[in-house]
Amino acid sequence: MIHDDEALDAWGFQDTRFEVQEDDSVVLTGNRYPLSGLRLPSLLPWFSKKLAVKLSGRNQNPPHYPPNIPASRAPAELLTELSTLLGAEHVSTEDRLRLRHGHGHTASEIWAIRYGEIPRVPDVVVFPKDHDEVAALVPVAQKLNAVLVPYGGGTNVTWALKVRPEEQRTVISVDLRRLSRCLKLSVEDGIAVFEAGIRGRDLEAHLAAHGLTMGHEPDSLEFSTLGGWIATNASGMKKNRYGNIEDLVLDVRAVTTSGEISRPESAPRESLGVPPLRCLLGSEGNLGIITQATIKVHRMPERREYGSLIFPSFDAGFHFLRELTHTGRLPASVRLMDNTQFQFGLALKPKTTGLLHRAKSAAEKLLVTKIKGFDPEKMCVVTLVYEGTSAEVEAEMRTTKRLGQKHGALDAGPSNGERGYQLTFGIAYIRDLTFTLKAIAESFETSVPWSHALDLYYRVKARIEREHAALGLPGKPFFTGRVTQLYHTGVCIYFYLGFYTEGVDDPVHAYELLEYAARDEILAAGGSLSHHHGIGKIRQQFLPRVYSPGALALQRAIKQAVDPTDIFAAGNHAMGDVSSGGGSS
């Protein structure tokens, strides 16, 4: 039971990936995105320039998927019990299915399934159909010495699904895709109850049919699930209008070894001590399995508009963001891209054809670089999405226009804003293209107070350049950042990091050293360990730098109280194997 439209060895849909043509232009296959089917002649030359190496379709690194994986350890007695409970067709030990359920989407994991191996994966994958079947798995696991690891969309970038190599018990991956129904919908109250396995795109499609939206739009919307958003304490691109996941979820229903977590109704606000929801937000599979959630829903906005502003520098764009935030008139989405991402967007444009188009492009370049005097190596762009009533949108547009002019911006128009926003989903496939071109790349994020944000951005950039040189890696590092979410107290900064791998003995290890250095610098500069990706296993070693011993002990004590025998053995963040008294690394 693999989603037949999703790729197993790469991000996204099976029919969609960037392919290099004979002339070294690049085409995104399929027809799902505005970028699909367009010939991109500038992309490889631009990447080559940034990496200071020659990338070519004639020098590729073809994947060797699938890797060998260990045989299932699931005993016959367990398989019989599971089949009796769920039906044999909903229990599988098939190798590729087990492999997919044993990894997320970090660079190291995708590199491993393409070019290496994964030493431990789940032993069996099950597909319960509802809350009761999920609950019934717990006594089976307890009786037959097995553990349960929930699986939503498999999109995490934190090693959250990696099975701990030392785990000797049978590992059952609990795939929640069949839990995808809407159980309640009240337009009057603005609430809905969905099962936790529903994918973001399906949830939004269901609500749209009723003129509604949840408004939660992470980059992984197409594949990630409602339960996964809660378990990772996620954030979306339109959080300015709709809020983060903690603002949108009113309650949950969950399965734990201590019993079901649920309530008959959810009120608008309550004071009831420490609600279980707070423990499950960001729990990353360690305390139980979320099966349902009560969420806020909103009427579809009366009006949606896009916009974009070009600034002479990243600093100018940043100061614009800070002042805009404190006006109280933030558009639904505001994102500041640095110069590298600005250039990247230009490299993703198809070849200009026709005299009129070429003349328009030349005129735009003349206006920006000659008349306005912007340096092409410093300018950056802010993309904007406005949603709300017509009056709200008009007020926000007037405010951004006024502040943009104050900070020296040039209005780049709505079409560039819409293109920049829609590119979010298409460019997610770029990472896998870099692998085939003998490069490795990944993203990571942080949140940071306004007073430290610019310093942090430049410090991380400089640290990456120093570490890249110290490791003797070829060419130059690829580094870029964008400000993606705005708060009263600060911002989220989202980074991309990559380098060329030819001649590097262990590219994954080299990448991990670079990202470790970047994370070390982020913390030293006043940034958070994570804004929305979570901790998983990949950032556990940094936890003592952000939590006191007492705070870590509290997290482990919660795990000990709720799941003393570690049946929910995801092993993420500080809630590791309670029998050993701490998290696994």
Residues designated as active site: 494
Between CA 43 and CA 55 the distance in angstroms is: 10
Listing from the earlier edge strand, what are the strands of the sheet with 39-40?
A: 18-20, 26-28, 39-40
Between CA 518 and CA 214 the distance in angstroms is: 34
Between CA 254 and CA 277 the distance in angstroms is: 9
Between CA 197 and CA 224 the distance in angstroms is: 9
Bridge partners (DSSP) of residue 18 are 28
DSSP assignment of 293-312? EEEE-EEPPSEEEEEEEEES
In order of 134, 141, 258, 295, 557, the CA distances from 565 in angstroms are 18, 11, 11, 31, 13
Long-range contacts of 367-372 (CB under 8 A, 24+ apart): 367/410, 368/310, 368/410, 372/312, 372/410
Between CA 441 and CA 375 the distance in angstroms is: 27
For residues 217 and 532, the answer to whether their CB atoms sit within 8 Å is: no
Between CA 298 and CA 191 the distance in angstroms is: 8
Residue listed under structure tokens 């109250």? 189
Between CA 297 and CA 561 the distance in angstroms is: 34
Between CA 197 and CA 225 the distance in angstroms is: 6
In order of 24, 426, 450, the CA distances from 60 in angstroms are 12, 22, 42
